A and B are shown apart, each in its own frame.
Chain A
């Protein structure tokens, strides 16, 4: 998995590429823990995310909880396979998806 970060003031865009699974989820977790200070708008760009498991979902959920305290978080460009995982776990009710 590869994470590209683009910071524009207090707006952070993280582009996640590859697989977000039990092995790689801790990497995203570390990036979120370390990189959200002062951020009011977090965009998770999933254009190149090809696989998502519950381990990744938990990290996304933790990110959402953190951003609820300091601003907003949006998921963008998730493909149909990723959206299906988000839908079946009812995360559509918790996450903002564009």
Chain B
């Protein structure tokens, strides 16, 4: 339906998007998440050319809308957009706001535009406000009206740019409820949002944007429950993470300890917990896995208070060091503090994971 290749957007010297490529299929509900300023909204605005891409191509149903000869207005009609600020015409009644686009752009007869408009207002629960002016509506109602106005243009895809972020928290729910309904009805939707629970519930695919592009993508379950890349994990779980490269025989325990201790102090770990983390790490890196070349990662979740230590290293054979008798002493020390200790082997990658309760 929509194919984006090599999309790049620069504002002067600032590169916001660099070589972004993806495809959006019919009926997909895609949430775009990521830290503020990572280019989520710019990405959305580039798709319907509200921002002119610096480079790259955007195809809608095979037609290149970034081509200079393309009939952008006609192609843009296939895409509706819902903004943070509702952009309703304040001098027009709500039903008139809905009728304007279809009448002017789609040449829909007035009565038909009215009938369709009422149908969409009913869909968003605002049939009773058809003859009200925007100023008479609450923020949540205005946004629902804006969604109905977008739908009245019968778009093939709707782009939502943080549709709830300008709303009072008490009104977020009613807008999300309308969006949930649209998602279940098969509308293709691309949603920039900070509403993680909503994104998790409704999305068929989630794009996590960072480092000037799509940093990680996958199903809701993949991105929210099993994020693979560190920045995604840190964002999703509000995790504080500490990563240290382990360089075989050159591993310097005291340099490692100094870094880890500094990190843990910064995150308000108690002296006792710091001591436990240093002890577990030493047992793992010096006694159970001496001389490995790999990566140590400590993650701390604000939400659960859980701390996880993961050490991964490459080795062709599967050999679980946790079952070795020679490691019984360090293991006793680790297991005393840990809620869970596990070993995993896949694609020559060995991983030991230690989970500690908060």
Interface of A toward B, CB cutoff 8 Å: 21-23, 51, 53-55, 57-58, 81, 85, 88-90
Contact = CB atoms under 8 A, between A and B. Distances in A.
A45 B358 CA distance: 33
Given A53-B283, A55-B287, A89 B275 contact: no
A1 B302 CA distance: 35
Interface of B, secondary structure class, is: helix
B272 A21 contact: no
A23 B287 contact: no
A89 B282 contact: no
Given A55-B286, A88-B332, 6 more contacts: A53-B286, A53-B330, A54-B287, A54-B330, A81-B272, A89-B329
Nearest to B282: A53
B279 A51 contact: yes
Interface of B: 253-254, 272, 275, 278-279, 282-283, 286-287, 329-330, 332-333, 336
Contacts of B279: 51, 53, 85
B137 to A, nearest CB: 63
A51 B275 CA distance: 8
A22 B286 contact: yes
Contact of B329 (A22, A23, A57, A81): A57
Contact of A54 (B253, B272, B278, B329): B329
Nearest to A90: B332
27 contacts: A21-B253, A21-B286, A22-B253, A22-B287, A23-B253, A23-B254, A51-B275, A51-B278, A51-B279, A53-B282, A53-B286, A53-B287, A53-B333, A54-B283, A54-B287, A54-B329, A54-B330, A55-B282, A57-B329, A58-B329, A85-B279, A85-B333, A88-B336, A89-B329, A89-B332, A89-B333, A90-B332
B275 A21 contact: no
A51 B253 CA distance: 14
A2 B233 CA distance: 42
